[in-house]
Chains A and B, each alone.
Chain A
């Protein structure tokens, strides 16, 4: 077990360091990247065979339970997909994208990309809430360099906003963590500072007023990182300016990691403050997030910004699922994390391909994709259906369950309003995507760029969401993981 964990944590930085040395040809780097991802994925699969779904692995610093394994499953899947897709993506960017002037960019890109994924692994395997904060801040710093990778003026602007808004936000989360530590010191003394297991066991003893204050700072801080409105201002900029694969990772994996850290803190916080306090705040943020996404999605012109606002919609759905805080809704949120990660990553990759095919990200200048680039168009159509929550794709089931739980908990007015807002986002996305797919083209595409291998990977990603949401019984391990992870959130959070 420990060896496998060390492979997952040791190999990526090793490869990143090697890629930075510039003494390898691009071919070696492509293969090295894929090999690293495959070995990491293999080590993860080996870990799933050793660690039972409801078991816990801990050695004082690292801590793995069902919740972190589920999140690791999401991040490792995305890492593998991104690593396998990156060769064709980078080569296309080199011939017809923004990267043509640079020659040594591939090593730098791989180094940053692998380090970014590595910091996300670190977030998921640490036991200490303080170290979790450190790792989350590290993800911001590494991904900031990736956001500015294009070296254009807009990329620079997006990076500056990203790093300023996120660092200040995350500083507030540190303030919250310090207050939590103060609350711990007052009743438990300086034993095992900020240790999650220790805090969870003694959560009921903490002073509610202090913990309330800590929670307020944390929801602002980690909410900035998740992308909750009104702290979301960095999100559309960063998602639209980063290289497409990185946008997919930011939206799918990093957002999931930030939600994970918030969940871990909530498990400690809710027993002493009560769920009602946290639920009100989460409801408010979730509504604001979706409500702000609606107008921007409808009048949007940039394809990646449209996807960013659709991400905000999904973030709102997940946070509202957490606000309801029942067993069904928590497991639906975890499932939604997976579904959203897969589908949004596929869509960002497709958006990158469309930008390469049409040499523009302005949706008003892209028409007639069905005729000119049939494969890209078909997958874009499928991805659109998937992200909007049409059956049989996974998001339908998780979204449906979450909204059902909102109604079941008695919030009829909120639920109806929420559905109306979701309909607004749907209108925007359907209008823009169908416009791009249909009509006749005024601007000719450069040809079909989606390779057979990329299509296979996209197929697997889309189908995996269907398989996991409709037929979870067929995957006993994952089902066990999901139910134990739900138990960790609900039982740990509702010790009262």
Chain B
């Protein structure tokens, strides 16, 4: 488990460095795969029949399969995206990510003292906070979607770690919601690129006051 968490944190750090859209989606896939493996391992330990493996299967199907596929097809349609690349924020977000690691451990020890799966909970908090930072710091639509899925992954891992899985019907509902959210965001991104000729959300600044 520890090796897995170290790998996960490494992927999250990498996520903050990547500016290329395709690589960002690949990185998101890697991150979701690690989450799925973690789910699988928790399922092995809890050992309550077939439905302890369902979260792992759902994560594989939705977050490693469907969502990255939708994002890839979206990226293919965008023509003048790559020239918008800039790494002006990369150092800030990596530094923030490093800060979040320290902050998460501090929060865990303060808020949930003596919790069994301390490392998993801490890394899930890192995931949540880094996802939020990605949404705030990145301006391109697809990067914000990646950030949102990262937040979702973090919350999912958090739930997995402290409760050994939510009830199955709620879990299904959450997966459905994430899927629909990404589909709606993909539709919106397409419309953005149609009517603004770009998917940079910095152009969205007309509505004020």
CA distance A54 to B152 in the complex (A): 39
For A159, A163, A178, the residue with the greatest tally of chain B CB atoms inside 10 Å of its CB is A178
A134 and B173 form a contact (CB under 8 A): yes
Is B191 close to A, CB under 8 A? yes
Is A299 close to B, CB under 8 A? yes
Residue of B nearest to A213 (CB): B111
B-side binding surface: helix, strand, loop or mixed? helix
B173 and A178 form a contact (CB under 8 A): no
Is A358 close to B, CB under 8 A? no
Q: How far is the CB of A216 from chain B (nearest CB, A)?
A: 10
The B144-184 residues at the A interface (CB cut-off 8 A) are 144, 148, 151-152, 155, 158-159, 162-163, 166-167, 169-170, 173-174, 176-177, 180-181, 184
Q: How far is the CB of B4 from chain A (nearest CB, A)?
A: 21
Q: How far is the CB of A454 from chain B (nearest CB, A)?
A: 28
Is A185 close to B, CB under 8 A? yes
CA distance A296 to B208 in the complex (A): 10
B144 and A164 form a contact (CB under 8 A): yes
B209 and A305 form a contact (CB under 8 A): yes
Residues of B within 8 A of A154 (CB): 206-207
Residues of A within 8 A of B205 (CB): 157
Total number of B residues with any Cβ neighbor in A under 8 Å: 39
Is B9 close to A, CB under 8 A? no
Given A134-B177, A161-B204, A296-B209: A167 touches B170 (CB 8 Å cut-off): no
Is B14 close to A, CB under 8 A? no
CA distance A297 to B201 in the complex (A): 27
Residues of B within 8 A of A145 (CB): 184, 187
The size bracket of the interface on A is: 35 or more
B interface residues with partner A (beta carbon < 8 Å): 111-112, 128, 132, 135, 141, 144, 148, 151-152, 155, 158-159, 162-163, 166-167, 169-170, 173-174, 176-177, 180-181, 184-185, 187-188, 191-192, 195-196, 201, 204-207, 209
25 CB < 8 A contacts A-B: A131-B169, A137-B181, A144-B184, A153-B195, A156-B192, A156-B195, A156-B196, A156-B204, A157-B204, A157-B205, A157-B206, A161-B204, A163-B184, A164-B148, A167-B148, A178-B158, A178-B162, A178-B163, A178-B166, A181-B159, A182-B163, A194-B167, A209-B111, A236-B209, A237-B207
A interface residues with partner B (beta carbon < 8 Å): 128, 130-131, 133-135, 137-138, 141, 144-145, 148, 151, 153-154, 156-161, 163-164, 167-168, 171, 174-175, 178-179, 181-182, 185, 193-194, 209-210, 213, 236-237, 240-241, 296, 299-300, 305
